[in-house]
Structure 1
Amino acid sequence: MILLTGFEPFGGETTNPSWAAARGAAALLEAAGHKAVAVELPCVFGDAIEALRAALAKHRPELVLCAGQAGGRAGISLERVAINCDDARIPDNAGKAPVDEPVVPDGPAAYFSTLPVKAALSALQAAGIPAEVSQSAGTYVCNHVFYGLMHAVRLTPGVRAGFVHVPYGPDQVRPDGGVASLPLEQMTEALAVVVRTALATAEDLKVSAGATH
C-alpha cells in the first residue's frame, strides 16, 4: 500500500495544491495497478501528526509520501531532512504558534528521508518537471509532519517515507505578480514520479545535489 498525504488550505488561502496533487497522484497510481490512498491532513500542530498516525495504522503502507505547499518556490522540493523543532512564523489553523518547541520531546535532532531523493530528482528532471533537493523543510507544520512521519515509521522494517513541497498553483498567484507557480497536472505527475522512482530504486544515486547556503 502507498500512502500519500496533503494539507488543507492555510494562511488565508482557499486551496492547497498539495492535497489536490496527492489525491490526483493516488488516482494515477491506482490506475497503473498500485494500491494507493490519499489522506488530507489538518494544518494544525499536533493534530496533523495524530491524523497521520491514524492513517498509518489504518492503511499500513509500505511507502509514504507526504506533501505540503511552499509558496514562492519555483518547483518540486524533495526534502532531505526533518528537524525536531517547531517554530511558527504564523499561527496554524487552530491559532497555535509554538516557538522553539520540539516536535517529539527527547527525540533525535533530525531524521533523513528514506526515499531516493536524488534518483527522484533525476526522474523529475527527465520528465521536464522543475525540481530540487531541499535541505530544509522549514519549521512550520510541514516539517512537523515530516519529522512526525519519520519518527512514527522508524521502528517499522521495510517502510520508506519522505516529504516533498510543491509550489503555488496558478490560481493562487496573479499572472503579473512575479511569484512562481506550477500547473496542478505537473504537481500531480511529480508526486507519482517520486513514488514510482522509490518503488523501482533500492539504492539512491550518488550524484551532487547539495547547496552552498
Structure 2
Amino acid sequence: MGRARCVSGRGRARLAARLGAGSRAGPDLGAGPRGVPRQRRRQRRRLRTGQLTSPSRSESEVQPAPAMEQPRKAVVVTGFGPFGEHTVNASWIAVQELEKLGLGDSVDLHVYEIPVEYQTVQRLIPALWEKHSPQLVVHVGVSGMATAVTLEKCGHNKGYKGLDNCRFCPGSQCCVEDGPESIDSIIDMDAVCKRVTTLGLDVSVTISQDAGRYLCDFTYYTSLYQSHGRSAFVHVPPLGKPYNADQLGRALRAIIEEMLDVLEQSEGKINCCQNTECHSGLPRPHPARDSERDVHPPGPDQEGQVHQLRI
C-alpha cells in the first residue's frame, strides 16, 4: 500500500482556489492560477477595452422624483343681475364669457351672479370667502357712463341713498358701522392698468377712485373689508358701447391674470384711506340693526335668485 499524503494548510488553500471553493460562481475548472474564473477574466479585459458596459441601475432608480404638484388657486368672479335700464347686465355677460375662457390650469374659477340687493350682498360676500377661501375675489359691474374698462382703486363706506331692486337702502346709508371711510385694494391698480395696456388688447383700460355709491361701491367696500383688501372691482361699459361680450371677456381674463401676478408681489399689504390702523385690527363687519334700516319685504324672486348663487 502506498503512503498517505499529508496535505498542508497552504496546499489545501491552493486546491480550494483551483476548484473555485468559496467563489460565488461555484467551481470553474477553467480558473487561472490565482483562482479567478476564466469568465471573470474575460469580462475584466472587455471592460478595459470598452467592449462591455458595467451594469447600470434600473430606470426607476435613476429617474428623478416627480415634482410636487402646486396647489391650485381659487378665484371668485361676480357679476350683477338686471336693474333699472340694464335689463341685460353687461357685467354678468362678461363674467360668463370669462368662464368660457378660464384662467388656466392652475386656477379654479368660480363665478356668481349677484342680485342688485344690499341685504343679499351683506350675506353673500362673507359666504363666498368662507366657502372658497379664494386667492382673489373680483367683482364686475356695469357703468352707463363708462366707455372703457375701469379698474376701481377703493370702496367707500358711506353715502348709499339709492334704492335697490327690493326698494331698500340701509337706514345708516353705510356698509359697515364704525368702518373706515374708504378702503384701498392691496392690488396696485396703476401697475395692472399699465401691464394690460402693453398687451395690445383692442379694449381701453383706465383707473378710477369712485365706484359710484350704489351696489357696485357697496359690494366692493364690503368685500374689501371682509378680505383685508384682497378684492378688486372692474366696471365695464354696456354691451356694444363700444365692446362686445367676447372683447369684455378677454379683457377680464387679461386683467385678472395680471392682478394675480401683482398680488403675489404685494402680499400682506393693506391701505385704509383716512385710517392708519392696520385692517386686521378693525372690527369684523356686521349688518346694521333692523331698527336702523328702511326694511322692505323681499321681492318675489329674491329666494330664487339666492338659490341660483349655490351658496
- The bucket for the TM-score relative to the shorter chain is 0.7 to 0.9
1:65-144 to structure 2, matched below 5 A, reads 65-89=138-162, 91-98=163-170, 101-126=173-198, 127-144=201-218
The alpha carbon displacement at 1:26 in A equals: 3.1
Tell me whether 1:22 sits opposite 2:95 in the alignment: yes
Q: Distance in 2 between matches of 1:114 and 1:121?
A: 14
One-letter amino acid matched to 2:113? E
The answer for the alignment partner of 1:42 in structure 2 is 115
Identity of aligned residues (%): 27
The answer for the alignment partner of 2:126 in structure 1 is 53
Larger Rg: 2
More strand by share: 1
Secondary structure of the corresponding residue to residue 140 of structure 2: strand
Q: Distance in 2 between matches of 1:121 and 1:128?
A: 14
One-letter amino acid matched to 2:120? D
Residues 117 and 133, structure 1, Cα contact 8 Å, conserved in 2: yes
One-letter amino acid matched to 2:205? A
Moved more, 69-78 or 116-125: 116-125
The alpha carbon displacement at 1:124 in A equals: 2.9
Out of 227, 232, 245, the position equivalent to 1:162 is: 232
The answer for the alignment partner of 1:198 in structure 2 is 259
One-letter amino acid matched to 1:96? F
Structure 1 runs of 4+ aligned residues shifted over 3 Å read 30-33, 97-100
Instruction: Mark the runs of 5 or more structure 1 residues left unpaired by the alignment.
Output: 171-179, 205-213
How many residues get paired? 190
One-letter amino acid matched to 2:212? G
Residues 161 and 173, structure 2, Cα contact 8 Å, conserved in 1: no
The alpha carbon displacement at 1:45 in A equals: 1.2
Instruction: Mark the runs of 5 or more structure 2 residues left unpaired by the alignment.
Output: 1-73, 267-311
Q: Distance in 1 between matches of 2:102 and 2:187?
A: 17
RMSD over aligned Cα atoms: 2.0
Per the normalisation by structure 1, the TM-score is 0.81
Per the normalisation by structure 2, the TM-score is 0.57
The answer for the alignment partner of 1:150 in structure 2 is 224
The alpha carbon displacement at 1:24 in A equals: 2.2
Q: Distance in 1 between matches of 2:112 and 2:259?
A: 19
Residues 79 and 163, structure 1, Cα contact 8 Å, conserved in 2: yes
Q: Distance in 2 between matches of 1:31 and 1:20?
A: 20
